[in-house]
Copies of this chain bind each other. A is one copy, B any other.
Amino acid sequence: MDLSASTATLAAAAADIVRLVPARYTDPLLSGLLLTAGRDGVVLAASDRERTARVSCDALVHTDGTVLVPAKPLAETLRALDVDRVRLVVEGSRLAIRADGARFALPLLDAALHPGVPTPPPPGGTVSGAKLSTALSTVSATASRDDTLPVFAGVRLRAEDGALVLRATDRYRMAIATVPATDLSPDIDVLVPAGLLSEVAKQASGEVSLATDPNRFTLSWGNTTVTTAVLDGVFLSESSLVLNTVDTWVETDADTLLAAARRVALYTDARGVLQIEVGDHELRLRGTDPQAGEAEESVKATVEGGRTSPAVQSRYLIDALRPYTGTRIRLSIQPGMRATVITSVDEQEVPIKYLMMPLLPPRQ
């Protein structure tokens, strides 16, 4: 293999792949980057068997070839170079990265042993990258970080009435976002690792095309294609939650409530209990902590129905309010240990619905 290419383009491609397929295993083959140079340029690819990513780049290819090299040193060297173009050339048992006055030589790993990157399933619709990112930034963050229970560490993506509906829950809260889609296959219903989707949310741009088969899910945008094994498990559906006993409706400004919640959260105890008291024309947030003291803050609101006043986890309330920045929100509150539902009163480009379970009120 012998090629020259734009340093910035190659560096961006290598960095994107390293973030999409981080080396999670000690097997050096799986933390390798597979470079394939051919007539159309160079393709960078990585696989850890569960997920694969490939990015194609323009390159001036002098000699075709395929090599496997350690991914991170390659990505870091390309990022650190401050020359416009770089040459990658196989020299004996090394891939040399050459720039004016400098030579960096990476050991070649055995490309024949690499699992490779399979052809993705046939495409099944497209969504806007920007809207998908908006949806994912809320929904992926709502999944559990703990991946011992895959169903809580995944985001369910499902075609519903031609739109892509994304849902995630960690048992204590659930986020639901609806992203408009084009030509969406009605069969799409997959559970995908939230960690990968968080990274996709950072990278995806332009049009994103979706594809699925019984075991895999693929996202493609620009020159990038990511495929992951889907997770097993029966996702907790909203229909299993009681949502029809709402007796209290509150409308208020999301930003004002968020700022107040952040302040009062400084005064919550180890459990993070924040009491929301529904008054006639306001919400009162209260927190109390044996060390820090007590806090109380009122936020103007329109209240209808009863005065059901839930206690919530302060951190969860802050997370729940973040997607509604700049809008007026409606809280639909149910008595007892049933979820509070947050939606926007204003129109959102990507409509988001947030369900938050209450806590037991603070012990007196």
A residues sitting closer than 8 Å to B (CB atoms) are: 70, 73, 76-77, 80-82, 94, 101-107, 259-260, 262-263, 266-267, 291-299
| Set of chain B residues within 8 Å of A293, measured between Cβ atoms | 70, 73, 94, 104-107
Please state if A73 and B292 are interface contacts (CB–CB under 8 Å). Answer: yes
Question: In the complex, what distance in Å separates the CA atom of A82 from the CA atom of B256?
Answer: 10
Say whether, besides A94-B293, A107-B293, A292-B70, A260 and B102 are in contact (CB < 8 Å). yes
Q: List 24 A-B contacts (CB under 8 A).
A: A70-B292, A70-B293, A73-B291, A76-B266, A77-B266, A77-B295, A80-B259, A80-B262, A82-B259, A94-B293, A101-B298, A102-B260, A102-B295, A102-B297, A102-B298, A103-B295, A103-B297, A104-B263, A104-B267, A104-B295, A104-B296, A105-B295, A106-B293, A107-B291
| Set of chain B residues within 8 Å of A295, measured between Cβ atoms | 77, 102-105
Say whether, besides A101-B299, A299-B101, A77 and B263 are in contact (CB < 8 Å). yes
Give the number of times this chain occurs in the complex, counting copies.
Answer: 2
Q: Considering only CB atoms, which chain B residue lies closest to A294 in the complex?
A: B105
Top 4 closest pairs, chain A to chain B, by CB: A102-B297, A73-B292, A101-B298, A106-B293
Question: In the complex, what distance in Å separates the CA atom of A296 from the CA atom of B91?
Answer: 15
Question: In the complex, what distance in Å separates the CA atom of A266 from the CA atom of B74?
Answer: 10
| Set of chain B residues within 8 Å of A81, measured between Cβ atoms | 263
Cβ distance A57 to chain B, nearest Cβ, rounded Å: 21
Say whether, besides A259-B82, A260-B102, A296-B102, A73 and B267 are in contact (CB < 8 Å). yes
Say whether, besides A80-B262, A259-B80, A263-B77, A106 and B292 are in contact (CB < 8 Å). yes
Please state if A101 and B297 are interface contacts (CB–CB under 8 Å). Answer: yes
Question: In the complex, what distance in Å separates the CA atom of A238 from the CA atom of B276?
Answer: 64
Please state if A266 and B80 are interface contacts (CB–CB under 8 Å). Answer: yes
Q: Considering only CB atoms, which chain B residue lies closest to A82 in the complex?
A: B259
Question: In the complex, what distance in Å separates the CA atom of A292 from the CA atom of B105?
Answer: 8
| Set of chain B residues within 8 Å of A73, measured between Cβ atoms | 266-267, 291-293
Question: In the complex, what distance in Å separates the CA atom of A266 from the CA atom of B104?
Answer: 10
Q: Considering only CB atoms, which chain B residue lies closest to A81 in the complex?
A: B263
**Max count, chain B CB within 10 A of own CB: residue among A76, A101, A299:** A101
| Set of chain B residues within 8 Å of A299, measured between Cβ atoms | 101
| Set of chain B residues within 8 Å of A266, measured between Cβ atoms | 73, 76-77, 80, 104
Residue of B80, B101, B106, B263 near A102 (CB, 8 A) is: B263
| Set of chain B residues within 8 Å of A80, measured between Cβ atoms | 259, 262-263, 266
Cβ distance A239 to chain B, nearest Cβ, rounded Å: 39
| Set of chain B residues within 8 Å of A292, measured between Cβ atoms | 70, 73, 106-107
Q: Considering only CB atoms, which chain B residue lies closest to A99 in the complex?
A: B297
Q: Considering only CB atoms, which chain B residue lies closest to A69 in the complex?
A: B293
Cβ distance A95 to chain B, nearest Cβ, rounded Å: 8
Question: In the complex, what distance in Å separates the CA atom of A73 from the CA atom of B94?
Answer: 57
| Set of chain B residues within 8 Å of A70, measured between Cβ atoms | 291-293
| Set of chain B residues within 8 Å of A294, measured between Cβ atoms | 94, 104-105
| Set of chain B residues within 8 Å of A77, measured between Cβ atoms | 263, 266, 295
